[in-house]
Amino acid sequence: MKHKISDISGTFTLNNGVKMPYLGLGTYMPKDSQEVTNSVRFALDNGYRLIDTAAIYRNENDVRLGIEASSVPREEVFVSSKVWNSDQGYDKTIKAFEKSLANLQMDYLDLYLVHWPVVGEYKETWRALEELYKQGKIRAIGVCNFLKHQLEDLMEDAEVIPMVNQMEFHPYLVQQELIDFCQLHHIQYEAWSPLMEGKVFELPEFQKLAKKYGKSIAQIVLRYDLQKGVVTIPKSSKEKRIIANADLFDFELSEADMDFIDAMDRNHRFGPNPDNFEWSYIL
Ligand code: NDP
């Protein structure tokens, strides 16, 4: 299936009709809080419209400052945050959400995600997200790090099918079966660590592709995400990189090169495995 990719303001449409920008900025693990504020401002001033944060990153406040410092009004930004593992369960999730809103000083979120599938908790967490969604406090709800069996289990009791599944995704971890499953259920796939936390720059295959297309490695790998229909949120703290990473709308990867990148898959994770993640782990 060919996905329509136009420019930096382009979107994919979620299963409830909400339009989600397909290119955004990640904000995990900055050096300091000023770095997040600056990078959010750089990104927005250069056309990005999706910002990914999470309660556990403890930077929602810095994200807000970045949005305020930018030339873009809040309504034009797609703000995404996540409920952390120790806050899962119905009541705790409602409270965690209110805290995130307070940190962001916003009266709604565009997307709120369950950060990890905490065993024994995620269904009640999801019920809280459904409630907040029905109340109009969140425009779209979704999950992160849910494998097929966890999605199936969640959907057995869910009233609302998740709109997004944010997963580790890059050339070494494609999980095509999971992508196909999400597509079948109209769950938008979103990539975290799309640049392999920076390790993609060492791969000779990408050095070759970059040369072939006259583009940078980051542009090739992020273009691959978009052509696969995957929302992508590369993180950078540097204005030049933030701008360059989004300069990927003037070329198209051939089908053969898309297949070539798919075939690099090693089912290799840099992050935790959702089946045996240490739930109590606090960053
Ligand atoms: P990425 O794959 O986005 O890689 C980020 C690294 O790449 C940084 O070190 C950055 O350095 C470097 N980089 C970015 N652009 C370039 C470039 N053009 N040239 C060279 N180096 C570059 O990793 P993340 O783990 O940050 O993933 C992206 C986002 O996904 C996170 O920030 C977070 O928002 C989200 N996430 C979600 C998770 C979940 O469980 N739901 C888990 C992990 C991440 P520099 O800043 O110096 O440019």
The domain ranges of the chain are 20-265
Average pLDDT of span 56-61: 96
Average pLDDT of span 6-31: 95
Geometric angle at alpha carbon 31, from 231 and 167, rounded to 5°: 25
| Active site members | 57
Q: For ligand 1, atom 18, name the residue with the nearest CA.
A: 241
Provide the phi-psi class of 39: left if phi over 0, else alpha when psi is between -120 and 50, else beta: alpha
Q: What is the pLDDT of residue 162?
A: 98
Rounded Cα distance, 23 and 245, in Å: 10
Atom of ligand 1 nearest to the CA of 194: 2
For ligand 1, the distance from its centroid to the CA atom of residue 24, given in whole angstroms, is 11
Average pLDDT of span 232-259: 98
Q: Residues near 22 by Cβ (< 8 Å), separated by ≥ 6? A: 5, 10, 11, 12, 50, 226, 231, 232
Q: What is the pLDDT of residue 279?
A: 67
The gap between the terminal CA atoms of the chain, to the nearest Å, is: 38
Rounded Cα distance, 98 and 188, in Å: 25
Average pLDDT of span 13-31: 95
> Are 145 and 274 contacting, i.e. CB atoms less than 8 angstroms apart?
yes
Give, in words, the CATH class of 20-265. Answer: alpha beta
Model pTM score = 0.98
Rounded Cα distance, 268 and 121, in Å: 27
For ligand 1, the distance from its centroid to the CA atom of residue 195, given in whole angstroms, is 6
Q: What is the pLDDT of residue 278?
A: 77
Q: What is the pLDDT of residue 146?
A: 98
Percent of the chain with pLDDT over 70: 98
